A = this chain, B = another copy of it.
Amino acid sequence: MSGRYAVILAGGRGERFWPLSRAAKPKQLLALVGDKPLIAQAVDRLEGLVPPERVLILTNADLVDATRAAAPGVPPANIIGEPVGRDTAPAVALATALVKARDPDATFAILTADHVMGDLPLFRQTLAAGMDAAESGNWLVTIGIKPHEPSTGFGYIEMGESAEPFSGIPFNRVARFVEKPDRATAERYLASGRYVWNSGMFIWSVRSIEAALRAHHPELGARIDEWARFAGAPEFAARLAESFAAVRKISIDYAVMEKADNILVAEGAFAWDDVGAWPALERHFPADSEGNIGIGDVAAVRSARNIVYSKGRLTALVGIEDAIVVQTDDVTLVCRRDHAQDIKALLARLREAGRSEVL
């Protein structure tokens, strides 16, 4: 068996967790749930499956130092900065190049940094089965998430005919990848039992994904050997800066997954939460009898259904309902629960006002 690697994609800005997340400290660097930053939890989840020296992390170039600090178990050289954000397909091509430079016979998983997971033994079993599947042929393997509600926030994968199981985990051929649906469509998907959420987790051999990129998005397929050649060299960052910026922004779903016909999907039945915005914390913390969730130092009277994140200072609520309150050293956010999506509008206003120190 040749080497197994994992590449964690950890870019992104995470405005939806402002003011705790900032441009210089996005969501994956925060310990929103649990004691460690989400990126460190993503590394820890691989224990027994992929050792830290075979874990690579791709992040924004300006977040490399902070990511190294947040994931101290991973060798610093394994944490690589993308010079510019180009969505997931160029990131996958770069990941393929980096792994190929170490071991062209390797299989690797593409994982995400900003999810919270539970049932970790089952997660590891599923991921190991995906590795087995990827090593059994030229499959592109993905782990879909068994949906528990008709979410319109995820893309879906329609499962096709049954395939061979690996390590006790059933697999299906993929019938198709579909975009985020409207509510009615999502309800239909959920009722059918044939759809899973697109989690962004993929497993493939260097050979399989390189072939798929060359076939379906040659612009990126052609870059892999170029990037692999100078991987680890002193001039890597400078050379990458030139060529990475030149590629088009495109997701791996568009570039490959919606086109390829050699895809297997496992139905991930472990707990998986994208913790998309502040209201999602209610799924991870206990509430008091009035439905208030207090993380940190919180006192409340005649108040209900609030989510308060207040470490290092006291937040006192009187007669407040359905609010989110978030404290940081320099900022307090008070937001109606059903207006969390308007935090972006607030940040736009602060940007206009030149308030970069709080962004």
Q: Is A233 an interface residue (CB 8 A)?
A: no
User: Which has the most chain B C-beta neighbours within 10 Å: A19, A316, A346?
Assistant: A316
Query: Could you say which of B299, B302, B334, B340 contacts A316, with CB atoms under 8 Å apart?
Result: B334
Residue from B19, B327, B331, B334 within 8 A of A320 (CB atoms): B334
CB of A310 within 8 Å of the partner chain? yes
CB of A246 within 8 A of chain B?
Answer: no
Chain A 284-334 residues near chain B, CB threshold 8 A: 299, 301-302, 310, 313-320, 323, 325, 327, 330-334
Q: How far is the CA of A302 from the CA of B339 in the complex (A)?
A: 9
Give Cα distance in the complex from A245 to B338, angstroms.
Answer: 55
Whether the pair A314, B358 counts as a contact (CB closer than 8 A) is: yes
Q: Is the CB of A317 within 8 A of B299?
A: no
Give the chain B neighbours of A339 by CB distance below 8 A.
302, 318-319
The reply to whether the CB of A335 lies closer than 8 angstroms to some CB of chain B is yes
- With A342-B302, A343-B318, A349-B299: A334-B325 Cβ-Cβ less than 8 Å: yes
CA distance A346 to B350 in the complex (A): 33
Interface size class of A (residues with CB under 8 A): 35 or more
Q: Please, which residues of chain B bring their CB within 8 A of the CB of A301? A: 342, 345-346, 349
Asked if A346 and B313 make an inter-chain contact with CB atoms under 8 angstroms apart, the answer reads: no
| Smallest CB separation, A239 vs chain B (Å) | 41
B332 adjacent to A325 (CB under 8 Å): yes
CB of A336 within 8 Å of the partner chain: yes
User: A18: nearest residue on chain B (CB-CB)?
Assistant: B316
Q: Are A330 and B317 in contact (CB under 8 A)?
A: no
* Nearest-CB residue, chain B, relative to A328: B313
Instruction: List B contacts of A333 (CB < 8 A).
Output: 316, 318
The answer for the CA separation of A329 and B342 in the assembled complex, in Å, is: 27
Taken together as a complex, chains A and B put the C-alpha atoms of A147 and B315 apart, in Å, by 37
Tell whether A318 pairs with B332 under 8 Å between CB atoms, given A302-B339, A339-B302: no
B-chain residues with CB within 8 Å of residue A332 when the two chains form the complex: 310, 313-316, 325, 327, 332
Question: Is the Cβ of A314 less than 8 Å from the Cβ of B331?
Answer: yes
Tell me, in angstroms, the Cα distance from A334 to B333 when the chains sit together.
11
Q: When A and B form their complex, which 5 residue pairs have the shortest distance between CB atoms, in order from nearest?
A: A319-B339, A319-B336, A318-B335, A314-B331, A301-B346
- A residues lining the B interface (CB < 8 Å): 19, 299, 301-302, 310, 313-320, 323, 325, 327, 330-336, 338-340, 342-343, 345-346, 349-350, 353, 355, 358
| Interface pairs (11), CB distance under 8 Å | A301-B345, A302-B342, A314-B331, A316-B331, A316-B333, A316-B334, A316-B350, A317-B334, A318-B340, A319-B335, A320-B334
